[in-house]
Amino acid sequence: NAGVMQNPRHLVRRRGQEARLRCSPMKGHSHVYWYRQLPEEGLKFMVYLQKENIIDESGMPKERFSAEFPKEGPSILRIQQVVRGDSAAYFCASSRDSGGKTGEQYFGPGTRLTVT
């Protein structure tokens, strides 16, 4: 049973370019979460999605960031016009349920974004 998959593992973008980060949840999981880890910090919640719906995007910057989880295919975190401050590790997690004892989140390996 494959775990949560993220690609690319490393992404380098110049300032002003777009970054697209992909996440395929574990089989049977319909809940996806994105977290960001800035250097020397813990992970911070960004957004929670279910298939075709954004449930909570309270942790996502209002400008330039967007997320989707289409009916078919992976979840995408998109960052437009990247700036140096966007350099971070972006982790995706998935769960079978939301909350409760069965809401355990399994993390992917992360995508490390470097903006030059």
Q: Is 74 in the site for another protein (CB under 8 A)?
A: no
Q: Which is nearer to another protein, 45 or 64 (CB)?
A: 45
Residues numbered 17-46 forming contacts with another protein, rule: CB under 8 A: 31, 33, 35, 40-45
For the chain, give the secondary structure using H, E and C. Answer: CCCCEEECCEEEECCCCCEEEEEECCCCCCEEEEEEECCCCCEEEEEEEECCEEEECCCCCCCCEEEECCCCCCEEEEECCCCHHHCEEEEEEEECCCCCCCCCCEECCCEEEEEC
109 binds another protein (CB under 8 A): yes
Contact flag: residue 8 with another protein (CB under 8 A): no
Residues that bind another protein (CB under 8 A): 31, 33, 35, 40-45, 48, 56, 59, 89, 91, 93, 95, 98-101, 103-110, 112
